[in-house]
Structure 1
Amino acid sequence: MDQNLKMKIRSDFMKKVVIVGGGIGGMAVANTLISGKINAEVTVVTQSPHYFSGPSRPLLLTKEQTLDRIVRGYEEAIRKGVKVVVGTAFSIDPANRKVRYVGGYTSSGGVGELAYDYLVLAPGVVLDGSGITGYDKYRHNVLNVYDPGRVHLLRSKIWSAERGTIVVYAPKAPYRCAPAPTETALLIDSVLRHRGVRDKFKIVHIDANDKTQPPVIADVVSQIYSRQGIELVTNQEIVEIGEREVVTKSGERYKYDVLAMLEPNRAPKFVEEAGLGKTWIDVRSPQDLRHPKYDDVLAVGDAAGLPFPKNQEIAFESALFAANKILEMEGSSYRASVQYAFVGWAYVGNPEGRLESLSVRFGLDFTSQPPKPSKDPEPKRDYTLAKDNWEQSYLANLFGYS
């Protein structure tokens, strides 16, 4: 029999695992399945041919981080046996086991369709400001540390502006990377001190929650804010954006010259349209990440409806649980070791204005009930370096190179 025909017959009978999302969650699933030698074709559908790592993005503001250190491609994953499709998933048909996507490279652009035996949804979150009056008109004023273009513009403004009011906003939790808004405020404070213009600026952090996130270090952040002269307003949800002011649900108005605002988070709309969840993707439990209705649909990472913070470690751990479940259903004995517990670090800037950010350490252990929190409230440079090493290790392990 012709070798090509043999390969085609084998491919036709192999199971197909489709993973929507090429971030930490999606790549952790793909790598674990490959490591477990699953007899399946593993395909990752990613919106971009590059992955933009999240944890250290705020340090782009202080110029302590550079894009070349936190952007990775999928070439090494492809060499390991992962099939990568560049495109945006826009429709899921769970009854017929199909994913539709649009885009891709020029040679394969347009609308495509993938059939699956197992579907893993790891699309990350959508920043959804549609419920905020004036958002469509003034979205160009909304900057943050999440989007590559917007973080670049935010950096440009805080390095060039001579005076004004900077408003930082955190929406109701859960949202991706809980300390990011406080990191944004404190790193902006550091840049302005470094430039010698801090006394010409007012920094206001408006938070829709009753305290800054994550709650375990809210008292630490409050104390640092007080020392650094950052105004904190809690329990205030922004409901309207104007050209130079925002309005909260209680009617308070805050003028701004720079608006560093994180929009509310949610799963992509195709999740709701497929009946797989509303704000987040429904799962059976944190350990069994299958959809309640479909054994062959699993969700991991920030878009999954988990009772945990939305951060890189939880995304990774949930991915291992999902991969283990697929391997179990396929009769494999391979299992990745995993439990829900993490240590994290939050940037708190530098009170002396040096571009050498300090961080505080915090953690949550979900293997005990209630979850056991931990923290070291003393800001340390070593913690910033530990966070960098941790992030670089993830990138090397999941994307195949440093």
Structure 2
Amino acid sequence: MKLSRRNLLRSLGISMAGGIFLNGVSSKKAFGEEKVMPDMMPKMHKPMMPSPTKKRAVILGGGYSGLYCAITLRELAPDAEIVVVEKYPFFVSGPSHIDFVAGLKHLDDISRSYDPVSARNIRVVRSEIIGIIPDERRVLTSSGDIEYNFLVISTGIRIADEDVLNLIEQPASNSHAWELGETVEMRKRIEAFKGGRVVLTVPTAPFKCPPGPYEVACLLREYFDSKKIKAEITIVDANDKPQPGPLAQKWTSVLEARNIIYKPNNKVIEIDAAGKQVITDKGEKVGYDFVSIIPSNKAATFIKDAGLGDPFVDVDPATFKSKKYDNIFAVGDCAKVPYTKSAFTASLQGKSVAHHVA
């Protein structure tokens, strides 16, 4: 049986959530002809829309948790005004980034238009989120301000490049599958790779898609072997065992079977691009010809600035309600909850919060 991400997860006893749940328009145009990050000048303190005259729920982020929340809320509250603020012009399946970097899927396969969401009378606003003023019930975006009655934060994670010395100064030396732009770049680098030492790093838990780094390693082994490319693959892990913890023993066996070197308890704190090596908190230097560093995962900086939590949004893990504001919720990867940061759990959280808001 040919190795794929789905088959690999099944061998570990993991059930994947269904595929992209949005039907319809291909996003080829969005990927090929539109810029992901448009050049938009901030219009601070200028309203994007009038003050709400009925219940308005503003959802920050159009990923799995945000969209499940919006669609479920529309079913529960037909008359509510629902606004989704999203910086990208199309939906991209986060879990499928891994399939893409391994050459198993194309960009069109893992992306969809937001048109089916808009067709449900949900307003999708393409804009960059700048900040939140909780006491004024207001969100600041690059296109103007939006007032809300209820706010659902589902902005996912921010990759904290600043936590790895020299990484910000040497961005061209690294790429990973945890952000869209980085995913595209990593695919290009994999296709250009001719052989040598491959180093993949894992940040301290919690982080988005815990099985992901180990899946990438296994799928790269399959890819390189199929191309007859000689590659020594090493995982440098900040954790004491593969994540998530309950699958550690199975992952260890899978990695050994694929001749993947595993170095636990080694947090990468520095990259030396000139010397082609990463340096860990133990002082160990690991050389590479191809490197993929996943820095620490944190919530967006505007969440900390708004006093809503650091490094994630502080919420009640049962209701996902902010510990400071009764009308603010956080779901998915940006929330501080004792659950795995995955698309499946994020989707369930989005549905749950919709019932609280309705």
TM over 0.5, yes or no?
Answer: yes
2:260 is aligned with 1:220? no
**Per-residue deviation, residues 121-176 of structure 1 (Å, max 9, x unmatched):** 00110011212111112222111122333323323333332221110011001100
> Aligned letter for 2:65?
G
Specify the alignment match of 2:39 in structure 1.
none
Query: Which protein, 1 or 2, shows the higher relative CO under an 8 Å CA cutoff with sep ≥ 6?
Result: 2
The equivalent of 2:222 in structure 1 is: 190
Give the alignment's TM-score, normalised by structure 1.
Answer: 0.74
**Normalised TM-score (structure 2):** 0.83
Amino acid at match of 1:66: H
Residue 166 (structure 1) aligns with: 198
> Does structure 2 conserve the Cα–Cα contact (< 8 Å) formed by 1:122 and 1:300?
yes
Distance 1:12 1:94, change over 3 A: closer
Give yes or no for the alignment of 1:66 onto 2:106: yes
Contact 2:140 2:146 in 1 (8 A): yes
CA–CA distance in structure 1, aligned partners of residues 267 and 102 of structure 2? 28
Query: Residues 303-333 of structure 1, C-alpha deviation per residue, up to 9 Å, x if partnerless?
Result: 0111111001110111112111112xxxxxx
What amino acid is aligned across from residue 243 of structure 2 in structure 1?
Answer: Q
SS of equivalent residue, structure 1 residue 113 = strand
| Counterpart residue type for residue 18 of structure 1 | V
Which residues of 2 match residues 321-340 of structure 1 at below 5 A? Answer: 321-327=352-358
| Preserved contact between residue 158 and residue 191 of structure 1 (Cα < 8 Å) | no
1:28 to 1:266, Cα distance in 2 relative to 1, 3 A = same
Structure 1 match to 2:297: 265
Q: 2:267 aligns with which of 223, 234, 237?
A: 237
Runs of 4+ in 1 over 3 A off after TM superposition: none
- Name stretches of at least 5 consecutive residues in structure 2 with no aligned partner: 1-49
Q: Which letter maps to 1:147?
A: E
1:17, 1:40 within 8 Å by CA — same for their partners in 2? Answer: yes
> Aligned residue pairs: how many?
307
1:26 counterpart = 2:66: yes
Partners of 2:157 and 2:209 in 1: how far apart?
A: 11
The 3-state SS of whatever aligns with 1:289 is coil
Out of 134-143 and 15-24, give the one that drifted further: 134-143
> What is the CA–CA distance in structure 2 between the aligned matches of 1:74 and 1:158, rounded to whole Å?
30
Contact 1:159–1:192 under 8 Å retained in 2: no
- Distance verdict in 2 for CA 1:148–1:93, change over 3 Å: closer
Given candidates 324, 337, 343, the residue that maps to 1:293 is 324
Asked whether the equivalents of residues 163 and 295 of structure 2 are also in contact (C-alpha less than 8 Å), the reply is: no
Matches within 5 A, 1:1-400: 13-102=53-142, 111-198=143-230, 201-243=231-273, 244-284=276-316, 286-327=317-358
- 1:287/1:321 contact within 8 Å kept: no
Whole-angstrom distance in 2 between the partners of 1:303 and 1:322: 14
Task: Looking at secondary structure, tell me which structure has more strand per residue.
Answer: 1
- Residues 76 and 176 of structure 1, relative CA distance in 2, 3 Å threshold: same
Using the TM superposition, give the Cα deviation of residue 236 of structure 1 relative to its aligned residue in structure 2, in angstroms.
0.4
Q: Deviations over 1:51-81 (max 9, x none)?
A: 1101122122332212112111211111110
Task: Report SS of the residue matched to 1:279.
Answer: coil
Aligned-pair identity (%): 30
Q: CA RMSD in A?
A: 1.6
Q: Helix, strand or coil for the counterpart of 2:310?
A: coil
Three-state SS of the structure 1 residue aligned to 2:270 is strand
Q: 33-42 or 301-310: which moved more?
A: 33-42
